[in-house]
Structure 1
Amino acid sequence: MASGRKAGSSGVVKATKAKPSIETTLWAAADKLRGNMDAAEYKHVALGLIFLKYISDRFDERQEQAEADPEERQLIEDPEVLRDLFIGDNVFWVPESARWGFLKARATSEKPTIGALIDMAMLHLEIENPSLKGVLTKNYARPELDQSKLGEVVNLFSNLTFKDAHHGQDVLGRVYEYFLGQFAIAEGKRGGQFYTAGCVVRLLVEMLQPFKGRVYDPCCGSGGMFVQSERFVEAHNGRRNDVSIFGQESNATTWRLAKMNLAIRGIEANLGPKWADTFHEDLHPGLKADFVLANPPFNDSDWSSKTVLEGKRWAYGVPPAGNANFAWVQHFIHHLAPHGTAGFVLANGSLSSQQSGEGDIRRRIVEADLVDCIVSLPGQLFSTTQIPVCLWFLSRDKSNGLVRDVKLRDRRGETLFIDARTLGSMETRTLKVLTEADIAKVADTYHNWRETGGRYADEAGFCASVTTKDITAQDFVLTPGRYVGTAEAEAEEEPFAERMARLTAELRGQMEEGARVDERIRAALAGVGHGW
């Protein structure tokens, strides 16, 4: 995004300082208040309060609407009827003890009880709203959490009002997503367990386009893939209920984050009745998904057991016990519907590794004609890991067909390779992001290649459509750089002889100027008695 600029009287263009966004301002203040508390712990304090503030604001907004409506105003006297009315409008019922105004009035009282009051508020919310049972954090009164600072955080969040055309979901979504990303950075490698870079999620979704059907993520983290899928459907005038969401998460606290992340957006999802490891306890054993979207843990060495390795999911070869990459790939394939497609993130090693039978598994997947597209991503997209990564896209059916009234061409025996390593812009000194133009370039290339009548053409150094025979000749290595070649160098407009003469003259002038500078230095040194 270009910064605002204005021209001064001297003609020099000066940049104006952009106003900090609401999420940036909140993060800076909230992070300062956490003191010495570990980011992994404070994450649940801050995100839990944001969630509580949102549902309280949403409740107050709906209550104001009821009071302004003559017909609904008559129902206010009957709490049970009013409660059913609110729940029917996808508004959580918030008892008096859990409303933000009640907590704010007691946030900075002389007696530090705010933590206990928040714990009670969370408990009452779960009692009144069964879908939140076991989801909310209820340890705000613990001794290591400074109660006076907690009261300051409550006052800080009181300045944020979740009210807009979408009932605050736009503002809330931005704040919640920003906090998730900042906590992922603060936690380092551990943060990758619950958060995937937003631009990577957008690219996956733009390429798969999950308009309608069952969407599955067996390692869903905080639910970012689902949020982006819903957002994509709405942005393209689809209906939210056209997408059914299924997910699973093995980490208890991350599972709760996902439940809150989806609940605040009114997204219905089946994340199973509990958190559970996908390999050891598949909570959706009979699911055949139309779309799989996932960012599984990279190179996970602690995933298997004898029972798991003897399972039925390994149609293309038993994955090595020391690396889960091809266990995830085969799990995704196992859960794909006959016409389903999958898009997921993996470490680059998955493209070429020959260790522990991984090369044989990859060969069988290629020979089964499941690999639709491979994308190499630029480095530094993930704040939590420096491992180079890529995107895999698998398709159960690459023959011609219809998707969203768009005719797909017969791609059997073909795979598209995209080398996107040169794309992206530095957002910070260490973090790169894919711009909307970058995402469009990659996604459009994929769609033009897949669709009948698409204007696709190989581009040296960027993309190439390759046959399975070509991949076989490369020993089933799937690294895009092997297939796309190198970009053609721009033709030199200046003839070599003229260019050489110009550069030589420039060098001669620079050497003469250097000699004059040396002479002045010697004269200056001689003037203070240090000449030679």
Structure 2
Amino acid sequence: MTEEDFKKTLWDTANALRGSVSAAEYKYPVLGLVFLKYVSDMFDAQAEVIRSRLADPKSDIYMDDEAIRAEAEQEFVTDRSFYDADNVFWVPKEAHYSHLLKGAAAAGKDLPNQLNAAMRAIEKENASLNGVLYRQFDQLELAPGTLASLMAKVAELKFDPGKHGSRDIFGEVYEYFLGEFARAEGAQAGEFYTPKSVVNLLVELLAPFRGKIYDPCCGSGGMFVQSAQFKEAHARKLGKKGDLPIYGQEMMAATRRLAKMNLAVHGLGDSDLGETYGSTFNNDQHPKLRADYILANPPFNISNWGGDKLTEDPRWTYGIPPKNNANYAWLQHMLARLSTHGRAGIVLANGSMTTNTSGEGQIRKMMIAADVVECMVALPGQLFSNTQIPVCLWFLTKDKKAGVNGAIDRTGQTLFIDARKMGSLQLSRTMIGFSDEEIHRIAQTYHRWRGTEFVDDGEHEDEPGFCKSADYAEIEKHGFVLTPGRYVGAAEVEDDDEAFEEKMQQLTGQLSELFAKGNALEDEVRRQLGRVGYEV
């Protein structure tokens, strides 16, 4: 099996849980089992690393005497300090996947309790996993043997750091499952999952590298994981060391656990997701935070956000957001949490760029006048599993001067990018995604415009139909509407007479061939009808 074949098979097996368990619930036990298999495989792999070091003359723990080495092996492979040193989770014997799988069939009805106990044991031994793992296997109403069969299928997945980066392959499987669950859940998907290509686009434009990073509605933590991967990739490219302390908040308790598990296996277990779950508006876990980067995909157009109780909130610098829509509450919350030179990238519904109802137009006008809107990107529809509406990206900053955020002073200017014609049906018959090349093109357009250290080459030029740098006067002329299509105009059509003539000749030739084939087909029909006595 290829990795893609395996993931699909694993998904199909997990999908067998549907019927007795809803899609919104069965992601937790499935991801819990995948995680249990992962930590068990990593534990075993680390034991082999310890044994190989004992036999390696170049190792600091090398022992040349075979008898002494054999004795040392027994001691060292059970010494957790050798696991902690390499950030490998400690797995007690009774919680190891192979131990549980071996007794799964015989355990019968007690298997769910054994799995719960295993998860508790792992949490107890690893502080970063405390309160994170799924421990409600006993609450699943499954047919006899279903859970054991699922464990057997998960057992086929091998996490081997010697063949591939263990965190990378786990992250890939985890990402795949989150995406499949999102599509299965439909309307609820936005509560925990942002499509990977959208996350990649945000990260590539924002380029988080050194400073505090924050997501006030972090879902399953995808923004953080991708940001960390960006940081590591560019640290190697630039020859510099990045640093991204992570801060976040999530409203749903179960989704918060997904995020903490996701962060833990990517080596980001020391992230600060606040003391508890809860509403960012009414129970802000980071009121004193001033972040250098904010990435967020808040729920669109929510009406029950508690705005009626927050009319005096100091976050509303540019105007009180309407009680029936949180879009401008999210924008202002993120501006309030930005540091002096901080930048934010936010996904919102397209209506946020044009609305004038309930004072939103006035808030947008005040934000533009304060010069905090740096870049607007229009995206196509069908990017999300839970909504077909097109969305946009807002990029906000309090510092457009030349310096920290780029070599080019963009005071009083806003960059507009129209990417509505980009993307293709990569994920399913109804969901599209961006290619790496498309993401790179959009990101480089911004980085050239701003003059950042992440530019490949070249200088910014406005491109009709795609991008335009507009000043305050032009935005005012458009009534402070921020739809990129208003500014970029139509793409130029090349006026090439020779190309036109060549194309016309080609089309004329094709048309002549079709006419000839049509005449031949008509003659054949007449001949065949004549054979059976019909005259035409």
TM-score by length of 2: 0.88
Question: Could you report, residue by residue, the CA deviation over 1:321-379 in whole angstroms, capped at 9, with x for unpaired residues?
Answer: 11111000000000000000001111110111111111111110011001111111122
Residue 112 of structure 1 deviates from its aligned partner by 3.7
Question: Is 1:253 aligned to residue 254 of structure 2?
Answer: yes
Question: Is 1:28 aligned to residue 12 of structure 2?
Answer: yes
Residue 531 of structure 1 deviates from its aligned partner by 6.7
SS in 2 for 1:337: strand
> 479, 482, 491: which one pairs with 1:487?
491
Residue 138 of structure 1 deviates from its aligned partner by 1.1
Distance, in Å, in 2 between the alignment partners of 1:523 and 1:68 is 83
- Which position in structure 1 is the counterpart of 2:441? 441
Question: Could you report, residue by residue, the CA deviation over 1:438-476 in whole angstroms, capped at 9, with x for unpaired residues?
Answer: 011000110001017951111110001111110000000
Distance, in Å, in 2 between the alignment partners of 1:141 and 1:160 is 24
The one-letter code sitting in structure 1 at the alignment partner of 2:491 is: A
Aligned counterparts, 1:448-459, within 5 A: 448-451=448-451, 455-459=459-463
Distance 1:122 1:496, change over 3 A: closer
Distance, in Å, in 1 between the alignment partners of 2:244 and 2:323 is 35
Any conservation in 1 of the 2:42–2:161 contact (CA below 8 Å)? no
Any conservation in 2 of the 1:416–1:464 contact (CA below 8 Å)? yes
Bigger Cα displacement from structure 2, 436-445 vs 491-500: 491-500
Distance 1:499 1:103, change over 3 A: closer
Any conservation in 2 of the 1:339–1:396 contact (CA below 8 Å)? yes
- Which position in structure 2 is the counterpart of 1:235? 233
Any conservation in 2 of the 1:67–1:76 contact (CA below 8 Å)? no
Distance 1:110 1:54, change over 3 A: closer
Question: Where does the alignment leave 5 or more consecutive residues of structure 2 unmatched?
Answer: 55-60, 63-70
Question: Is 1:361 aligned to residue 367 of structure 2?
Answer: no
- Which position in structure 1 is the counterpart of 2:407? 408
- Which position in structure 2 is the counterpart of 1:123? 120
Any conservation in 1 of the 2:76–2:82 contact (CA below 8 Å)? no
- Which position in structure 2 is the counterpart of 1:139? 136
> 20, 24, 30: which one pairs with 1:46?
30
- Which position in structure 1 is the counterpart of 2:384? 382
Distance, in Å, in 2 between the alignment partners of 1:375 and 1:274 is 33
Any conservation in 2 of the 1:262–1:269 contact (CA below 8 Å)? yes
The one-letter code sitting in structure 2 at the alignment partner of 1:158 is: A
Residue 76 of structure 1 deviates from its aligned partner by 6.1
- Which position in structure 2 is the counterpart of 1:478? 482
Distance 1:273 1:501, change over 3 A: closer
SS in 2 for 1:113: helix
Distance, in Å, in 2 between the alignment partners of 1:248 and 1:358 is 25
- Which position in structure 1 is the counterpart of 2:343? 341
Question: Is 1:160 aligned to residue 157 of structure 2?
Answer: yes
Distance, in Å, in 2 between the alignment partners of 1:505 and 1:184 is 50
SS in 1 for 2:343: strand
Question: Could you report, residue by residue, the CA deviation over 1:233-260 in whole angstroms, capped at 9, with x for unpaired residues?
Answer: 1112268871100000001110010010
The one-letter code sitting in structure 2 at the alignment partner of 1:206 is: E
> 220, 228, 234: which one pairs with 1:222?
220
Residue 483 of structure 1 deviates from its aligned partner by 0.5
- Which position in structure 1 is the counterpart of 2:286? 284
Question: Could you report, residue by residue, the CA deviation over 1:470-518 in whole angstroms, capped at 9, with x for unpaired residues?
Answer: 0000000000000001111233434989987987787677567656755
RMSD (Å), alpha carbons: 2.8
Aligned length: 512
The one-letter code sitting in structure 1 at the alignment partner of 2:105 is: T
Distance, in Å, in 2 between the alignment partners of 1:44 and 1:265 is 18
Distance, in Å, in 2 between the alignment partners of 1:190 and 1:241 is 35
Distance, in Å, in 1 between the alignment partners of 2:333 and 2:533 is 81
Aligned counterparts, 1:393-404, within 5 A: 393-403=395-405
Question: Where does the alignment leave 5 or more consecutive residues of structure 1 unmatched?
Answer: 1-16
- Which position in structure 2 is the counterpart of 1:4? none
Residue 277 of structure 1 deviates from its aligned partner by 0.7
- Which position in structure 1 is the counterpart of 2:464? 460
SS in 2 for 1:421: coil
Distance, in Å, in 1 between the alignment partners of 2:27 and 2:403 is 46
Distance 1:488 1:99, change over 3 A: same
- Which position in structure 2 is the counterpart of 1:3? none
Distance, in Å, in 2 between the alignment partners of 1:499 and 1:87 is 67
SS in 1 for 2:171: helix
Distance, in Å, in 2 between the alignment partners of 1:127 and 1:484 is 57
Distance, in Å, in 2 between the alignment partners of 1:128 and 1:378 is 46
Distance, in Å, in 1 between the alignment partners of 2:19 and 2:152 is 17
Distance, in Å, in 2 between the alignment partners of 1:374 and 1:99 is 49
Bigger Cα displacement from structure 2, 427-436 vs 40-49: 427-436
Residue 225 of structure 1 deviates from its aligned partner by 0.1
The one-letter code sitting in structure 2 at the alignment partner of 1:439 is: I
Identity %: 48
Distance 1:506 1:109, change over 3 A: closer
The one-letter code sitting in structure 2 at the alignment partner of 1:132 is: L
Any conservation in 2 of the 1:58–1:167 contact (CA below 8 Å)? no
Question: Could you report, residue by residue, the CA deviation over 1:174-233 in whole angstroms, capped at 9, with x for unpaired residues?
Answer: 101111111101111201111111111111111111110000000000000000010011
SS in 1 for 2:394: strand
